[in-house]
Structure 1
Amino acid sequence: MTDRTILVVGTYDTKDDELNFIAEVLKGQGGGVLTMDVSVLGDPSAPTDYSKHDVAAEGGHSIAEAIAGEDENLAMQIMAKGASALVARLHREGRFDGVLVLGGTMGTDLALDVCAALPLGVPKYIVSTVSFSPLIPPERLPGDVQMILWAGGLYGLNSVCKASLSQAAGAVLGAARAVEPPRRDRPLIGMTSFGKTVLRYMVALKPALEARGFEVAVFHATGMGGRAFESLAREGAFAAVMDFAPQEVGNHMMGSSISAGNDRMTNAGAAGVPQIIAPGCYDLVDFVGWQAVPPKLEGQDIHAHNRLLSSVLMTPDQRRQMARAMCDKLSGARGPVVFLLPLLGGNEWDRPGGPLHDAEGLAAFIDEMRASCPANVTLLELDAHINDAAFAEAVLSVFDGWIDAGTVARA
């Protein structure tokens, strides 16, 4: 008897020994195993539970078609499409509890699609020769994916790569046993923020919203947090969105590698989810603290947050660009949007007398928001700072009005 079943995915024509080793480790720990072959040219040493023909067919293609294209990249995209569709269906049918995908660059490309097809809360592990590599753009990473570097595993089994493979097998099985998937027993509000040093509204808002019967998930808007936030927004997981830390929009606009992708601040709107927006830390561009300042930001004031992260203070012109970028993204929203504009500043460091205070830059941002705000967005100006109690009170006033109007269902 087994308590949890893990789906093992990989190219069994070239990684047969490694994939079978993973399966044996899982079985040795009392786990069940399903196998899926995503290779194109060769065959496994023994039949898998889901063959390469099953995978291709699930995506509306065939192995013959993948081979006929005479293009390795095209062939793997055919397999990625089929594998993603098949994995999603098998999960809906309750066939497995977690997934482990093995690959080099080709297999990792497919693995990212496979993991993205599964909802948050399903344990998903990728063992890859390019784990943690800049080859992987942040927008390809699912919100709760786990990656393990496949050290020494490019070709054949050895004691080095067995250490990685066995850890991965134990990790995914342990996660499948321990995971508490999102309950969905209370409507969920998605909120973005940073730590309490710079933004503090969540301290007042979280208990107030929970007292109204809602669950609140606060996402750290430093690239990957924004990806998780956008992933759930795309799924329609949120009853409402309180996106108060849109700094990732500016990071992406200015070419920072700390990006949540080009679709940041668009998925809730596309799903018709009601949104309250505010410009927390809108004036800062984060970059990797141990790397050189991006060329387009050289010469601007810098705040060193820690050894990993530094922030560049935007110029007035860049703040105008930021305002236009947010307005452009919000203009496509299908649900109601309220933009709360605190006239006294958007982070603790920009208060008068603070180290990043810039009255001219703040005035430029406010002016551009007034000029560029699209017709579908309600702009509410507050004679307050974003960390003042008046800001949190304004948020709750808007939210309670939505509840009374039926825009957001009562919890």
Structure 2
Amino acid sequence: MTNYTGYIYAAATADTKGRELFYVSECIAETGAEVLTVDLSTQSVNGTSRADFPPELVADFHPDGRDAVFCKDRGKAIDAMALAFKIFLSRRQNLAGVIGLGGSGGTALITPAMQALPVGVPKVMVSTMASGEVSGYVGASDISMVYSVTDVAGLNRISRKVLGNAAHQIAGAVLFETDSDDDEKPALGLTMFGVTTPCIQQVSEKLEKDYDCLVFHATGSGGRAMEKLTDSGMLSGLLDLTTTEVCDLLFDGVLACDETRFDAVAKKKIPCVISCGALDMVNFGHPSTIPEKYAGRLFYHHNAQVTLMRTTPEENVAMARWIAEKLNRCEGDMVFLIPVGGFSALDAPEQPFWSPDANLAFITTLEETLLQTRRRKIVRLPYHINTPEFAHAAVQQFRQLAEKEF
């Protein structure tokens, strides 16, 4: 057990989830961890709340004051209290972890504040929504979602077990905190997809002696997680070699980044080597889910739930322009490496997505649109992205940039 300092914050709308909230707080307290309760009710209770932090106190953190929360419109009230709670939680100097309880409204209210906390701060959300699609609630954070099984509406033989387990989960995460290695090797972010795995494995092997290599799967949430860590100052450099999430953003794929992709590196100005890994494909689910407008395109059946679509020259032009316009805002040291020999395992001679014309459309458009400077450069390499030669060049370019920083 580590010597932690701080409190676990337990949050719920106590006007409807009060019994559950205080049951969870009691379970946490029995472990020896210290706990504070937060009432997120979206109507004023005029000082009658049992919680350590009543809803009026939290609502006062809204930029427009408590009236923005206690507005008698449930949807607007939830949104307003979510913002107030996000600000409230961000200013807790003694926060060791947070646990939330809720249905659909409570989950939407509590999880934005959790997402805003640094990765590594323990976060548990007990929710009726946890058995379905939870990406909107989790985002790029490390929130642990616990399905409530029964509704969060009273205590019974099922809810006591589930809530008690969740209470012990958050308490255990706080009491047995994992030691941080922040004072050791600087951390690097690397992006990888299955079709660029050989590249990233080789790059990681060459750098792991001097750097802590954090590999992010380029599935949309992976890119957002890397951006979040970059923005929080936890990464000292990037080898963002697999930028395939842009394909899905622009062409209806299911593993899309959002419009903020590349913003964190522009803001933090950390050394960055970027490439066009897997820009030859858009990701869809089962073939039946592919939009009708893409009928007749070149597809590759990856597995029962993943279908890949080859990007066209016209789509490569659009991607190159989008990426270049983003990277033109980067004032730090950045090199864009172009593997002329192919962008992925499927984009190689005798492979199904091999299309030199499509790749050339990307390359020429990027070179025309990206404004090269002393610190922002494009380098063409006559290699496939998964070759040892490309990995060696990527590492060499990064080390040259990093020498200026470390």
Fold shared per TM-score above 0.5 = yes
CA distance in 2 between counterparts of 1:124 and 1:38 reads 17
Aligned to 1:252: 249
Aligned match for 2:303, one of 301, 306, 311: 306
Aligned to 2:259: 262
Displacement of 1:381: 0.4
Residues 126 and 334 of structure 1, relative CA distance in 2, 3 Å threshold? farther
- For the 8 Å contact 1:236–1:273, the answer to whether it is kept is no
Aligned to 1:142: 140
Aligned to 2:36: 34
CA distance in 2 between counterparts of 1:250 and 1:325 reads 10
Aligned to 2:75: 73
Residues 160 and 11 of structure 1, relative CA distance in 2, 3 Å threshold? same
CA distance in 1 between counterparts of 2:36 and 2:14 reads 13
CA distance in 2 between counterparts of 1:350 and 1:182 reads 40
Which segment is superposed worse, 128-137 or 356-365? Answer: 128-137
Aligned to 1:373: 370
Aligned match for 1:15, one of 14, 17, 24: 17
Identity of aligned residues (%): 29
- For the 8 Å contact 2:338–2:380, the answer to whether it is kept is yes
CA distance in 2 between counterparts of 1:241 and 1:384 reads 21
Residues 366 and 65 of structure 1, relative CA distance in 2, 3 Å threshold? closer
Aligned to 1:206: 204
Aligned to 2:55: 52
Report SS of the residue matched to 2:197: coil
Aligned to 2:237: 240
Displacement of 1:223: 2.1
Report SS of the residue matched to 1:13: helix
Displacement of 1:48: 1.3
- For the 8 Å contact 1:285–1:314, the answer to whether it is kept is yes
* Cα-to-partner distance string for 1:133-160 (whole Å, 9 max, x where unaligned): 447537x613211112233215333334
CA distance in 1 between counterparts of 2:26 and 2:264 reads 41
CA distance in 1 between counterparts of 2:175 and 2:296 reads 51
CA distance in 2 between counterparts of 1:341 and 1:223 reads 22
CA distance in 1 between counterparts of 2:114 and 2:124 reads 8
CA distance in 2 between counterparts of 1:255 and 1:210 reads 36
Displacement of 1:255: 1.9
Aligned to 1:328: 325
CA distance in 2 between counterparts of 1:241 and 1:126 reads 31
- For the 8 Å contact 2:2–2:176, the answer to whether it is kept is no
Residues 189 and 32 of structure 1, relative CA distance in 2, 3 Å threshold? same
Residues 50 and 172 of structure 1, relative CA distance in 2, 3 Å threshold? same
Residues 216 and 136 of structure 1, relative CA distance in 2, 3 Å threshold? closer
Residues 291 and 184 of structure 1, relative CA distance in 2, 3 Å threshold? farther
CA distance in 2 between counterparts of 1:253 and 1:58 reads 37
- For the 8 Å contact 1:115–1:142, the answer to whether it is kept is no
* Cα-to-partner distance string for 1:312-334 (whole Å, 9 max, x where unaligned): 21122112222222112212223
Amino acid at match of 2:59: A
Displacement of 1:383: 0.9
Report SS of the residue matched to 1:101: strand
Displacement of 1:18: 1.6
Aligned to 2:97: 98
Displacement of 1:42: 5.1
Report SS of the residue matched to 2:346: helix
Displacement of 1:99: 0.7
Residues 325 and 179 of structure 1, relative CA distance in 2, 3 Å threshold? farther
CA RMSD of aligned residues (A): 2.6
Aligned to 1:168: 166
Aligned to 1:293: 290
Displacement of 1:100: 0.7
Aligned to 2:26: 24
Amino acid at match of 1:84: K
Gaps of 5+ in 1: none
Which segment is superposed worse, 2-11 or 328-337? Answer: 2-11
Gaps of 5+ in 2: none
Amino acid at match of 1:302: F
* Cα-to-partner distance string for 1:186-207 (whole Å, 9 max, x where unaligned): 2211110123x54312222223
- For the 8 Å contact 2:28–2:167, the answer to whether it is kept is yes
Displacement of 1:339: 0.6
CA distance in 1 between counterparts of 2:173 and 2:306 reads 30
Amino acid at match of 2:236: A
Displacement of 1:386: 0.8
Q: Report the number of matched residues.
A: 400
Q: Does 1:124 align with 2:115?
A: no
Displacement of 1:40: 2.7
Report SS of the residue matched to 1:98: strand
- For the 8 Å contact 2:2–2:177, the answer to whether it is kept is no
* Cα-to-partner distance string for 1:107-145 (whole Å, 9 max, x where unaligned): 22222221122111011111222236447537x613211
- For the 8 Å contact 1:8–1:100, the answer to whether it is kept is yes
Displacement of 1:72: 2.4
Amino acid at match of 2:366: M
Report SS of the residue matched to 2:289: coil
CA distance in 2 between counterparts of 1:255 and 1:181 reads 41
CA distance in 1 between counterparts of 2:177 and 2:303 reads 32
Displacement of 1:54: 2.0
Report SS of the residue matched to 1:259: coil
CA distance in 1 between counterparts of 2:305 and 2:29 reads 40
Residues 136 and 105 of structure 1, relative CA distance in 2, 3 Å threshold? farther
